Amino acid sequence: MSESLRHEFRNEFLETLPYETPFFLYSLKRIEYNFHEFQRYFSDASVHYAMKANSEPEVLRLLLNLGCGFEVASGYELSMLKDLSVPPESIIYGTSVKPISHIKDFFDYGVDRFAFDSFPELEKIAAAAPGSRVYARVRVSDAGSIFRFSEKFGAEKEDLVSLLQRAQELGLRPYGISFHVGSQASNLMAWANALDMLHPVLEHLKQVGIKIEVINLGGGYPCKYLSSQHEFDLKEIAYHTMERYKKLPYQPKLILEPGRGLVADTGIVVASVIARVERRENTWLFLDAGVYNALFESMAYQGSIRYAVTSMRSAYDSEETMFALAGPTGDSADVITREAMLPKGITVGDKLIFHDAGAYNIVTAVPFNGFPKPSVYFI
């Protein structure tokens, strides 16, 4: 990333902002930069943003103007794109299990690309969206990813041929195959290994007269959080993935569905300290932003994200100490981290910055205990 972008969220600038905390701040320039990075390293692929990561209208409008497509997971998300007049040919309905009424809404709007991973789902699509293009989602290894999908989604590799044959029998067009290696993947070779697995499947499909048009590589492209243990970038992922792609029996067009990888490092959360409390084990800083209204992914689930956190003021002396950070609600789970190194003298009214918080946090924020979602601003 260019030096000008790295310093967009510098303290000197943030201190001039008149906004009340807590608030999200996103950089449109960073989003544009990240989009062009996906285009650069996957030069012949079609990029469809997984809008579940951040569906703020400004984000969607920018990506639309850049020529990005959209991967959509519900009729509710489709409504947001309708409001922006996103053309149906730029949209894919990417979740593999869908309400039939939502399938019909997409089809009525003109969308004709649908994911599936079971025979019953094919029957639904054939009934509500006749003649559409369908792609089968296959289960792949998501070992090492923070958030894993393989338990919930994906057909077995051995069923792909019969699924796509059945699609053809139902009057649907067997368009392709998709997979997802898990969100915040830590295995550099995850996408390449998934393509290796598909090699015999493409051979078998060719034998039964089906030549797919696309392979959807899904998302999972990681952000370098404080909790990240692996340091690799999109260039490395693309190199190994494209190397295996070129070894397939033939090369269907590629689709990418970046979500986190496109927006995570483009946003921050700014919060204020509302209390400093000494407990037996920790010194606690209570903030006006917590896991419910601003930082959901810091709550432990299959894994949890640890965000780099800094103090806004630069006037403190350099001595730091460990703090536990908690949100404002009365719930015991509202703990962001117990290991934040911050200036020793930090106190009520001081502001903290959570970095790389642009993915999933605003879309999952809820007004638990009545604490509202933070305001959202763009630069």
The rounded mean pLDDT for the chain is 88
Q: Specify if 19 maps to a domain.
A: no
Domain boundary (258, 289, 314) is at 258
Q: Are residues 208 and 74 in the same domain?
A: yes
Q: Are residues 216 and 115 in the same domain?
A: yes
Say how many C-beta atoms besides its own lie within 10 A of residue 304's C-beta: 17
One-letter amino acid at 368 equals F
Q: Which helix (H) or strand (E) holds 29?
A: helix 28-41
pLDDT in tens, 110-137: 999 999 999 999 999 999 999 999 999 8
Q: What pLDDT does 333 receive?
A: 87
pLDDT in tens, 245-268: 999 999 999 999 999 889 999 999
Q: Specify if 10 maps to a domain.
A: no
Say how many C-beta atoms besides its own lie within 10 A of residue 250's C-beta: 9
One-letter amino acid at 230 equals H
Task: Output the CA angle 245-250-254, nearest 5 degrees.
Answer: 50
Q: Does residue 302 carry a pLDDT above 50? A: no
Number of domains in the chain: 2
How far is 125 from 112, CA to CA, in rounded Å? 10
Q: Are residues 230 and 101 in the same domain?
A: yes
pLDDT in tens, 203-217: 999 999 999 999 999
Residue with the two structure tokens 């998709």: 178
How far is 58 from 378, CA to CA, in rounded Å? 8
**What's the whole-model pTM score?**
0.90
Locate 84 and state its tokens: 């922006």
Q: Are residues 112 and 246 in the same domain?
A: yes
How far is 216 from 200, CA to CA, in rounded Å? 17
For residue 273, the enclosing domain spans 264-378
How far is 352 from 48, CA to CA, in rounded Å? 33
Q: Are residues 88 and 181 in the same domain?
A: yes
Q: Specify if 163 maps to a domain.
A: yes
Q: Are residues 217 and 101 in the same domain?
A: yes
Residue percentage of the chain with pLDDT more than 90: 67
Locate 170 and state its tokens: 């139902």
266 burial type by CB count under 10 A (0-12 exposed, 13-18 middle, 19+ buried): buried
Question: Domain of 349: which CATH number?
Answer: 2.40.37.10
Quickly state the pLDDT bin for 307 (edges 50, 70, 90): confident
